[in-house]
Amino acid sequence: MRVDGAHDLRSEYVVRVTGTVRARPEGTANPSLPTGGVEVGDCAVEVLSVAEPPPFPVSDRSDADETVRLRHRYVDLRRDRLQRNLRMRATVNAALRAAMDAQGFAEVETPMLIASTPEGARDFVVPARLHPGSFYALPQSPQLFKQLLMVGGFDRYYQIARCLRDEDLRADRQFEFMQLDAEAAFVDQEDVLSFISPAVLAATEAATGTRVEGGPDGIPRLSWADAMARFGSDKPDVRFGMELVNLTPVFAATELRAFQAPAVKAIRVPGQGGVVRSRLDALTDTAKRWGAKGLVWARVTGPGEIDSPVAKFLSAQEQAGVVAATAAEAGDLVLVVADERRQAEKVLGLLRLELGRPPVNEGGYHFLWVTDFPLFEGLDDQGRPIPAHHPFTMPHPDDLDRLEADPLSVRSQAYDLVLNGWELGSGSVRIHRPDVQQRIFDLIGIAPEAAQERFGFLLDAFRYGAPPHAGFAFGIDRLVAILAGEENIREVIAFPKTQSGSDPLTGAPSPLEPAVLAELGIRVLPPPP
Ligand code: ASP
């Protein structure tokens, strides 16, 4: 905007300009500025607030240090990027609320000062002044309260809920994050998917203008077992191919010791046959760090022909088998891992991402429902099964009688929503019978007295007429980050924490005055050496 006359104005001053807006004279318009077509004539300029020079230029082109940006977040928020991201976030929230309201869901708020709700992370706790020595936990999710709401007759609940989990921070994780949390009574998995899919697709369209096409509900499905077999991940990024190929039959009778394993699997990396040896060595080291016994590479040199350190130990038939099974062409690279099946899949899944994953803002929006998770993801060091979701997840009805005898084979009625390789959220059909809930607690090592102490209120509620119920929750920060093309959820949160969990703007966390500690009945130990 051009303003008549001379005024002593500096960057970031707050001014009131009164005048007549008119088109710029012929030849002086500047199309590269948003207001480059107009100017203000006959104007009066009043300075409402002066500004010190900003700590960094308020231009998207400059890349100021993150701590400086966060310390002066109010300046940072003026940048186009954050303006756009936070406004997009507001659009997403509004679209989610509208979609849930339209389906008859009522938004109900649940408390922040609660007893612990287990979601697999550490709780943040708050000392209770009126009960010295006692603490509230901040909710890792509204999980138990939404189940109580089902017993309380709110058969369709949702909430845009703040969740707090004390875990190490990373690009897609902050201590506090927002979820669209939902629960409904007298429903099954299909109903939940049919409630959540339109909400998430409406939010995507409202925020980006992109209508996501797909199956009947717009979001394709994949079973957990297929996701692991084809992508080596329970949150597959299906924006690109490079799917895992099973070479176990090719090496069924192999002489090569390294391939005499329960599973031999591979990925084809198109056009990467010429990659230098040092890169292949680095990939091998990475694969070992991820737990592989080794990584075998093969450059495809021609039809049925490979160049590989192990080529001389492989029969011509095996070499041709690798090329045929992976559909590799001359110039491609094939990476092979032989191990226990899950281990081979995990390592290849990570290599696939390392070598093929497109930047976050490329390839469109590929939502995916992953279904049929196992109930337990493994055994802890005392041989007890570890729940893959939280312990309120209903086992598959056909597997209930194997719960104690063969827990790792039991399927759950749990499902995840995945977008471009990010886990957006998860949900499940819940246990609504106290006897089944008790069996799960017994299995995972929560003794009856401990269960009564920690979750007695839920077990009690189930004794007063609990409808079958199911639900879901997904992370709004993650959804908005992907829709905004951001790799880090900090870019879609107004006031985020740094990687080490501090807030350079307010100085949190900070020590408490001795008098405050005394009032809370707390004595602080010196930091460990
Ligand atoms: N409470 C779960 C979570 O936060 C989601 C759910 O099961 O509804 O992951």
187 CA → ligand 1 middle, Å: 16
Ligand 1 and 119: CB distance under 6 A: yes
179 CA → ligand 1 middle, Å: 9
224 CA → ligand 1 middle, Å: 18
Ligand 1 and 427: CB distance under 6 A: yes
pLDDT exceeds 90 at position 443: yes
The residue ranking higher by pLDDT, 313 or 60, is 313
Residue 38's pLDDT band, with cuts at 50, 70 and 90, is: very high
User: pLDDT tens, 71-119?
Assistant: 999 999 999 999 999 999 999 999 999 999 999 999 999 999 999 777 8
pLDDT of residue 3: 67
Percent of the chain, pLDDT > 90? 83
Ligand 1 and 474: CB distance under 6 A: no
Q: Residue 14 in contact with residue 48, Cβ under 8 Å?
A: yes
177 CA → ligand 1 middle, Å: 13
Residue 528's pLDDT band, with cuts at 50, 70 and 90, is: confident
In ligand 1, the atom with minimum distance to the C-alpha of 414 is: 7
Residue 451's pLDDT band, with cuts at 50, 70 and 90, is: confident
The reported pTM is 0.94
pLDDT of residue 435: 87
Phi, psi angle pair for 135, to nearest 5°: -135, 145
Residue 390's pLDDT band, with cuts at 50, 70 and 90, is: confident
pLDDT of residue 59: 81
Ligand 1 and 141: CB distance under 6 A: yes
Sequence-ordered list of residues with C-beta below 8 angstroms from that of 248, at least 6 positions apart, any chain: 262, 263, 264, 265
DSSP-based three-state secondary structure for 223: strand
425 CA → ligand 1 middle, Å: 7
pLDDT exceeds 60 at position 522: yes
Percent of the chain, pLDDT > 70? 98
Q: Residue 411 in contact with residue 400, Cβ under 8 Å?
A: no
Phi, psi angle pair for 379, to nearest 5°: -115, 145
In ligand 1, the atom with minimum distance to the C-alpha of 471 is: 8
**Token pair for 521:** 């009945």
Mean pLDDT of 457-471: 94
User: pLDDT tens, 261-270?
Assistant: 999 999 999 9
pLDDT exceeds 70 at position 4: no
H helix count then E strand count, the chain:
13, 20
Question: Alpha-carbon distance 267 to 276, whole Å?
Answer: 18
In ligand 1, the atom with minimum distance to the C-alpha of 428 is: 7
Q: Residue 477 in contact with residue 424, Cβ under 8 Å?
A: no
**Residue of 164, 390, 415, 416 best suited for mutating to test ligand 1, as the one with most atoms within 8 Å of CB:** 390
Residue 215's pLDDT band, with cuts at 50, 70 and 90, is: low
Hey, whose CA ends up nearest to atom 7 of ligand 1?
427
In ligand 1, the atom with minimum distance to the C-alpha of 425 is: 9
Ligand 1 and 471: CB distance under 6 A: yes
pLDDT exceeds 60 at position 526: yes
From 475, 422, 486, 418, select the one nearest 119 (Cα to Cα).
Answer: 475
Ligand 1 and 254: CB distance under 6 A: no
pLDDT of residue 198: 94
**Token pair for 408:** 């790792």
393 CA → ligand 1 middle, Å: 10
Query: What letters, b where the CB count within 10 A reaches 16 and e where it falls short, cover 10-49?
Result: eeeeeeeeeeeeeeeeeeeeeeeeeeeeebbeebebeeee
User: pLDDT tens, 147-179?
Assistant: 999 999 999 999 999 999 999 999 999 999 999
Hey, whose CA ends up nearest to atom 4 of ligand 1?
141
In ligand 1, the atom with minimum distance to the C-alpha of 393 is: 7
**Residue of 117, 119, 160, 412 best suited for mutating to test ligand 1, as the one with most atoms within 8 Å of CB:** 119
Mean pLDDT of 25-46: 90
In ligand 1, the atom with minimum distance to the C-alpha of 427 is: 7
Ligand 1 and 428: CB distance under 6 A: yes
pLDDT exceeds 90 at position 416: yes
491 CA → ligand 1 middle, Å: 24
Ligand 1 and 472: CB distance under 6 A: yes
User: pLDDT tens, 251-309?
Assistant: 999 999 999 999 999 999 999 999 999 999 999 999 999 999 999 999 999 888 899 99
Arithmetic mean of pLDDT over the chain:
93
Query: C-alpha distances in angstroms, 377 versus 87, 289, 315, 342, 518?
Result: 39, 21, 38, 11, 44
426 CA → ligand 1 middle, Å: 6
Task: Please state which of the ranges 314-323, 445-454, 496-505 shows the lowest mean pLDDT.
Answer: 445-454
Beta strand 38-49 with 2-3 is parallel
pLDDT exceeds 60 at position 216: no
The residue ranking higher by pLDDT, 284 or 438, is 284
pLDDT of residue 217: 63
Place of tokens 């189940």: 147
Other beta carbons less than 10 A from residue 385's beta carbon: 21
Q: Residue 447 in contact with residue 459, Cβ under 8 Å?
A: no
Question: Alpha-carbon distance 141 to 514, whole Å?
Answer: 32
